[in-house]
Amino acid sequence: MMVERDVLSRRAVLRSLTLFAVRPAGVLALAVAPAGVARAQAGGPCAPTRADLEGPFYLPGAPRRIAIAPPEEPGDRLIVRGRVLGPDCATPLAGAVLDVWQADSQGSYHGPTERYRLRGRLRTDADGGYELFTVKPGAYRIGDRFRPAHIHMIVTHRAYAPLTTQLYFKGDPYLAPNDACGAACKSDDPGRIISLHKEEKMGGEFWAGMFDVVLGQPGT
């Protein structure tokens, strides 16, 4: 059986990203402490990653790729990496798919007419690992308030029910209770607020953070 491959290989992505250095920190006051896994940051016991609102901007059919931001995408370069794990928080789930979408650095979403800009699907490797290359999303306004910067994802695996969630960034002033989304979103969940650190890779500088996803509900 033919195995689907990401459109861009990691090596090719790294080659292209070396052309771009990280700009000074933008809108967010992001922490620079070394990243740990999301669960460890929460300091709590093993628990499934919590769901969050899908929102109105999801589009099916995004291309398979680990770089959802091409080199010309404006913004601070960001790497999010982690693993997708079973309910014991230890068993790696190979072949899980993360369907990811986010706003650009100015807080706007884009769609198919822009080649699914800032959208993509990536698959975990044999160790359940993934690595996403993108830019830091911007906060966006709802009414007279703002949503904190976030990355949406739907995580699927054949053995578990799909998980729709969002990840957030430590130090964001719009996290709950200031989130314009109100009670419909859960941006105060410490298990989904990641710390970022500066990272040098092949001559370029990136923000980088870890986000492990724990699936907890068996599929049907």
Q: d(Cα 62, Cα 74) in Å, to the nearest integer? A: 20
> In whole angstroms, how close is the CB of 108 to Fe ion at the nearest point?
11
> In whole angstroms, how close is the CB of 152 to Fe ion at the nearest point?
6
> In whole angstroms, how close is the CB of 128 to Fe ion at the nearest point?
26
> In whole angstroms, how close is the CB of 111 to Fe ion at the nearest point?
14
> In degrees, to the nearest 5, what angle opens at C-alpha 202 toward C-alphas 197 and 203?
80
Q: Between 89 and 98, whose beta carbon lies closer to Fe ion?
A: 98
Burial of 152 (0-12, 13-18, 19+ CB in 10 A): buried
> In whole angstroms, how close is the CB of 53 to Fe ion at the nearest point?
8
Query: Which of 76, 155, 169 has its CA nearest to residue 123?
Result: 155
φ/ψ bin of 177: left (φ > 0), alpha (ψ from -120 to 50), beta (otherwise): alpha
Q: d(Cα 136, Cα 26) in Å, to the nearest integer? A: 9
Q: Between 139 and 213, whose beta carbon lies closer to Fe ion?
A: 139
Q: Name the site residues for Fe ion (rule: CB under 5 A).
A: 55
Q: Between 55 and 92, whose beta carbon lies closer to Fe ion?
A: 55
Q: Between 137 and 216, whose beta carbon lies closer to Fe ion?
A: 137
Q: Between 55 and 95, whose beta carbon lies closer to Fe ion?
A: 55
With beta carbons less than 8 A apart as the criterion, state whether 172 and 149 touch.
yes
Query: Which of 214, 190, 105 has its CA nearest to residue 151?
Result: 105
Residue nearest to Fe ion (CB): 55
Q: Between 124 and 187, whose beta carbon lies closer to Fe ion?
A: 187
With beta carbons less than 8 A apart as the criterion, state whether 140 and 108 touch.
yes
> In whole angstroms, how close is the CB of 5 to Fe ion at the nearest point?
28
